[in-house]
Amino acid sequence: MTTINIPADSLFGLDNLPYGVFSPAGGAPRVGVRVGDSVIDLAVALGDSVFSEPTLNAFMAQGRDRWVSVRNQISELATGEIPSDAVFSSDSVEMHLPIAVADYVDFYASENHATNLGRLFRPDSAPLMPNWKHLPVGYHGRSSTVVVSGTDIIRPCGQRKSPDQANPDFGPSRRLDIEAEMGFIVGTPSKMGDSITPDEFADHVFGAVVVNDWSARDIQAWEYVPLGPNLGKSFATSISPWVVPLLALEAARIDTPVQDPEPLPYLRGEEKWGLDIDLAVEWNGHVVSRPPYAQMYWSPAQMLAHTTINGAVASTGDLFASGTISGPEKNQRGAFIELTWGGKEPVAVGDETRTFLEDGDVISISATAPAAGGSRIGFGEVSARILPATQADR
């Protein structure tokens, strides 16, 4: 038997207890929970085969009562004696995609981001579309290209057409960008034909991750009318490996900004589901932006209510992301197209400057949130390196 030492300033203390899928050297992927700098193998520690699965989906599908009960069991484990073969150093394990992604929907819930993008993509029109303050605008993304932090991102190729070109050409994206977002994962499914109210959010949503929704702005700008982004986004979306349970975010719950006009009744609830989460974007090890999730106009509870109001089913493993998080200040913008104003205002990255991503660049996005008693919990980070294009000769 052993005990787990939790450093006093750890972002993975007992208030957090996030779930992930890990493999020790030579072992198969299985479900673990992060405590301090340790990972507890839950199948071994709790003797339940649902944690021997290579994704969290089977456990997430068991529902909220079960999530509460397992969280209580883990709290006891982490403060007492635990079998030595159930504990690994977090440095020694490989992390995997924690969920089998069912549907992936990406929203557009930051007023600052939507306004900035509107100005950049449609300079001759009002930046916010008339629908934007009436519904959380979102679109479906590609589930099969959601990857875990640490997976290299190959620069995508596609059709590019700058305003001075008569016709598009083909080649590697020259405006490869990030979008710093939070993502929410459905555990308890709904039935087709039903809808989930904003106040039923916590019955359905298991937890949250940090998301980097990679975006090839040149491909996107040419392709996206009238049916929305496709190839400019579908090559990859990265998520952090540790799923922070919604149960760990009680102290982070705040009101959203005032919503004016008042949303339609199906988007209203009594529960607060704004979230006081602070993100930090590191470019080659240098923090270039600190997007504040607290500023997001639409709450994740409203996003899920909207997604299901037409009777669409929510499935275990559904991932929905907030869209880029941008605050009102320049150094709070969560996408480089905003931070560099369409590439016209390069930013300092250490001793260098950047507009969009170069091959070899490394992006890490991390997030933290308040916990009980003034301490903080961490989401860890979503990190990836850009590799050169491979399809440039097609």
Instruction: Kindly list the residues in this chain that would bind a second copy in the complex (CB under 8 A).
Output: 102-103, 105, 108, 118, 121-122, 129, 131, 134-135, 137-145, 147, 154, 156-159, 161, 167-170, 192-195, 197, 216, 219, 222-231, 234-236, 261, 264-266, 306-307, 309-315, 318, 390-391, 394
96 as an active site residue: the answer is: no
Q: Quick one: 269 or 292, whose CB is closer to a second copy?
A: 269
Tokens 């977002």: give the residue. Answer: 181
CA distance 363 to 341: 19
CB of residue 228 vs a second copy: minimum separation in angstroms? Answer: 2
CB of residue 44 vs a second copy: minimum separation in angstroms? Answer: 31
CA distance 102 to 313: 11
End-to-end, the C-alpha distance of the chain in Å comes to 58
CB of residue 357 vs a second copy: minimum separation in angstroms? Answer: 15
- Cα angle: 326, vertex 332, 337; to 5 degrees: 65
Q: Quick one: 132 or 242, whose CB is closer to a second copy?
A: 132
Instruction: Name the active-site residue from 113, 134, 286, 306.
Output: 113
Token readout for 308 is 């299901």
CB of residue 155 vs a second copy: minimum separation in angstroms? Answer: 9
Q: Quick one: 248 or 305, whose CB is closer to a second copy?
A: 305
Instruction: Please give the torsion angle defined by the CA atoms of residues 286, 289, 290 and 292, in that order, rounded to the nearest 10 degrees.
Output: -160
The single-letter DSSP state of residue 374 is G
Give the C-alpha distances (Å, rounded to integers) separating 363 from 95, 231, 284.
18, 21, 6
Q: Quick one: 194 or 271, whose CB is closer to a second copy?
A: 194
Contact 107, 303 (CB under 8 A): yes
Smallest CA-to-CA distance from 371 within 244, 243, 278, 251 is with 251
The single-letter DSSP state of residue 5 is -
Q: Quick one: 130 or 374, whose CB is closer to a second copy?
A: 130
The single-letter DSSP state of residue 16 is T
CB of residue 294 vs a second copy: minimum separation in angstroms? Answer: 24
| Catalytic annotation, residues | 113
